[in-house]
């Protein structure tokens, strides 16, 4: 899943304006090169031979910069604009527009020093940034600002902003061209997880489908001595304590894992949504939960009940935070505390996020298909820590994709129950739940241990055109 784990590549453009000290551009170029290298960010930038000091000042410079961006179009996931002096207000905007790229843009302006306000040393980037932003807005180019209006390249503030910007670049790049694997038909009683493939295609997301009958046939045809079976079996055993699971059930799970993994590779899938009941239990006599748990832990998230939008939500959260994401039901109140509730699922959470994970049976489903046919469910409690929750949904009535996002925390309040569970605390939870209900969102939500809400909100609203409710 290269879009999740590879280094981010950004184009770096340096604004310049002739009647300000141009040597500052050369200084900034050398300083920036060291910073980006230290932070593990690949860069594309003009050389000092292509333009004066490697800056962009004139329309001719803009054309040179645009050709560079076009040449590296497939690599570039964002543009970072650095203003070591006032900068020409049009040239940078022209370069981005001429290049025809639609990636996130970060604007940084260098701060002046009070002891360097003479003509030979003053920057005026404070003012230049406002002019550049005005032109970008006129050109219809969305952009991201640094936390402070001006800040030093070597400052902790800018480095933090740059780190956050790489998260933004990752998720925007990953969503464009994302391929979701839908394995099986949604359970008949889950109208909740209906979605529009056509709206997703408009967003650049493709859904690849396969019927469970094809999966079952491939499992039946897989030879017992296939070396991949032992490999998958080892992953399942390393994921959670499997001591209570019969060997033949584990072997069958490993075979199913091989088949699903092979299909994912063949179709270049980024995230999956699987029909988890009841066909699997009645046909193979196992649950797919542990396989989904392992894949989510490998940063290839997998959602239950063919919840394609849930899988896409997990993927966005995973890409942004570089941490495993899980999917759960908004499931129970927590006593009388209106800012707390219980999140629950049968057993699919990424075990990295759980306390003492154990593989067992899915007892709720087992009441209808027999517990002996539900081996593979994970049982475990979410560790205490930061929480980000996120949900995408297609709305056929408005013809739009919509979302909500927010943060809270996983808490360690006592809870005696089975399956994968968490007690969460979300300020203003009642208002959030009202928004979910009033706007027809699904009962599933993607979640993990991170603080990613602000990045997800900006990525989807500003760069991906999705209406997102940010619950604060």
pLDDT value at residue 19: 67
> pLDDT tens for residues 43-52?
999 999 999 9
Task: Put the strands of the sheet holding 302-303 in their side by side order.
Answer: 206-210, 179-183, 271-274, 302-303
Instruction: Choose one of 151, 175, 199: the last residue of a domain.
Output: 175
Instruction: Choose one of 175, 202, 235: the last residue of a domain.
Output: 175
Residue 156 pLDDT > 80? yes
Look-up of token digits 């709305």: 395
Neighbours of 175 (CB within 10 A): 24
pLDDT value at residue 117: 72
Mean pLDDT of 49-76: 96
pTM of the prediction? 0.96
pLDDT value at residue 120: 66
| CATH code where residue 158 lies | 3.40.50.10940
Does residue 127 sit in the same domain as residue 219? no
Q: Which domain holds residue 97?
A: 2-175
What share of the chain in percent tops pLDDT 70? Answer: 98
Tell me how far apart the alpha carbons of residues 86 and 245 are, in angstroms, rounded to a whole number. 67
Does residue 223 sit in the same domain as residue 86? no
- Which range (111-120, 191-200, 224-233) has the least confidence? 111-120
Q: How far is CA 183 from CA 79, 221, 369, 460, in A?
A: 37, 18, 20, 26
Tell me how far apart the alpha carbons of residues 468 and 471 are, in angstroms, rounded to a whole number. 9
**Whole-number CA gyration radius for the chain:** 25
Picking from 259, 253, 260, the residue whose alpha carbon sits closest to that of residue 234 is 253
What share of the chain in percent tops pLDDT 90? Answer: 91
Secondary element (H or E) of residue 341 = strand 337-345
pLDDT value at residue 5: 63
Does residue 123 sit in the same domain as residue 186? no
Does residue 165 sit in the same domain as residue 200? no
pLDDT value at residue 61: 97
- Which range (21-35, 330-344, 369-383, 442-456) has the least confidence? 21-35
Q: How far is CA 121 from CA 56, 108, 118, 148, 155, in A?
A: 19, 18, 6, 21, 19
> pLDDT tens for residues 395-453?
999 999 999 999 999 999 999 999 999 999 999 999 999 999 999 999 999 999 999 99
User: Which region, left, alpha or beta, applies to residue 20 given φ > 0 means left and ψ of -120 to 50 means alpha?
Assistant: beta
Does residue 134 sit in the same domain as residue 186? no
Does residue 351 sit in the same domain as residue 403? yes
Instruction: Choose one of 141, 175, 209: the last residue of a domain.
Output: 175
Residue 1 pLDDT > 60? no
| CATH code where residue 298 lies | 3.40.275.10
> pLDDT tens for residues 311-325?
999 999 999 999 999
Does residue 285 sit in the same domain as residue 208? yes
Sign of dihedral through CA atoms 194, 185, 176, 453?
A: positive
Q: Name the domain count of the chain.
A: 2
Does residue 166 sit in the same domain as residue 268? no
Does residue 190 sit in the same domain as residue 153? no
Does residue 81 sit in the same domain as residue 118? yes
Does residue 161 sit in the same domain as residue 185? no
Does residue 150 sit in the same domain as residue 185? no
């Amino acid at each position: 899943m290269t879009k999740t784990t590879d280094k981010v590549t950004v184009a770096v453009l340096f604004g310049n304006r002739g009647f300000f000290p141009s040597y500052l551009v050369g200084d900034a170029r050398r300083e920036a090169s060291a910073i980006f290298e230290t932070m593990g960010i690949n860069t594309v930038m003009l050389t000092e031979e292509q333009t004066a000091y490697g800056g962009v000042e004139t329309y001719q410079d803009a054309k040179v910069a645009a050709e560079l961006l076009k040449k590296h179009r497939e690599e570039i996931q964002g543009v970072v604009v650095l203003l070591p002096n006032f900068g020409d207000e049009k040239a940078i905007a022209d370069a981005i527009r001429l290049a025809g790229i639609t990636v996130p843009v970060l604007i940084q302006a260098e701060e002046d020093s009070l002891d360097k306000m003479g003509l030979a040393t003053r920057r005026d980037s404070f003012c230049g940034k406002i002019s550049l932003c005005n032109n970008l807005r006129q050109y219809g180019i969305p952009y991201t600002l640094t936390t402070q209006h001006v800040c030093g390249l070597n400052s902790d503030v800018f480095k933090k902003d740059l780190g956050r910007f790489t998260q933004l670049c990752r998720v925007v790049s990953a969503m464009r061209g994302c391929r979701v694997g839908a394995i099986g038909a949604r359970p008949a009683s889950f109208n909740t997880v209906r979605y529009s493939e056509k709206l997703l295609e408009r967003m650049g997301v493709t859904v690849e489908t396969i019927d469970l009958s094809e999966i079952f046939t491939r499992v039946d045809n897989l030879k017992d001595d296939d070396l991949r079976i032992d490999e998958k079996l080892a992953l399942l055993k390393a994921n959670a304590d499997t001591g209570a699971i019969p060997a033949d059930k584990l072997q069958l799970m490993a075979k199913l894992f091989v088949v699903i993994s092979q299909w994912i590779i063949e179709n270049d899938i980024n995230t999956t949504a699987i029909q988890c009941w009841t066909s699997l239990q009645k046909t193979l006599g196992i649950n797919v939960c542990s396989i989904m748990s392992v894949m989510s832990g490998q940063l290839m998230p997998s959602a239950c009940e063919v919840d394609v939008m849930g899988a896409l939500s997990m993927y966005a959260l995973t890409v942004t935070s570089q941490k495993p994401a899980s999917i759960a039901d908004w499931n129970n109140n927590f006593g009388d505390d209106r800012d707390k509730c219980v999140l629950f699922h049968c057993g699919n959470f990424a075990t990295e996020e759980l306390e003492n994970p154990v593989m067992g049976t899915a007892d709720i489903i087992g009441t209808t298909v027999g517990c002996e046919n539900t081996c593979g469910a994970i049982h475990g409690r979410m560790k205490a820590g930061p929480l980000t929750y996120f949900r995408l949904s297609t709305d056929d009535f408005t013809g739009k994709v919509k979302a909500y996002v927010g943060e809270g925390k996983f808490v360690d309040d006592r809870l005696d129950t089975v399956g994968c569970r968490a007690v969460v605390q979300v300020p203003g939870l009642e208002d959030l739940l009202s928004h979910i209900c009033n706007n027809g969102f699904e009962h599933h939500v993607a979640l993990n241990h991170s603080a990613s809400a602000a990045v997800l909100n900006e990525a989807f609203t500003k760069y991906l055109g999705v209406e997102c409710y940010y619950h604060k």
